[in-house]
Amino acid sequence: MTPQYAGLRTLHNDNDDVVVLGFPCNQFGNQEPGTDAEILEFATSQFDVNFPMFSKIEVNGANTAPLYELLKEAQPGDGDSADITWNFEKFLVDKAGNVIKRYAPSTTPEEIATDLDQFR
């Protein structure tokens, strides 16, 4: 799913009213083991990421970042738990801060782009 970085960059660049925010997490298969600087270097050198990338966080469990507690409470998903299922699970938040949709990790940024008009 790492190639989604490129699609997220395009979503960020091609829509003036969209800001993509990246929150690396190493809770899924040890896929983001590096430091914040190493993760940023990888994303920028391999996928030309130019959207904001934040420090690595936890999205599930006792140390869940407050942002992800809010996101999961607002959009708990379809499973037995509101937990994030894998890296690249995505949330659409409107300009007022309302969490309006949650996307599975396999949902591509291109698929999200088709939803944007209905939420503008």
Per run of 10 residues, the mean pLDDT along the chain (length 120 residues) is: 93 95 96 95 96 97 98 92 95 94 96 88
The pTM for the full model equals 0.93
pLDDT, position 39: 96
DSSP assignment of the chain:
-TTHHHHHHHHHHH-TT----B-----STT---S-HHHHHHHHHHHH---S-B------SSTT--HHHHHHHHH---SSSS-S--STT-EEEE-TTS-EEEEE-TTS-HHHHHHHHHHH-
Q: According to CATH, what is the number of the domain 4-113?
A: 3.40.30.10
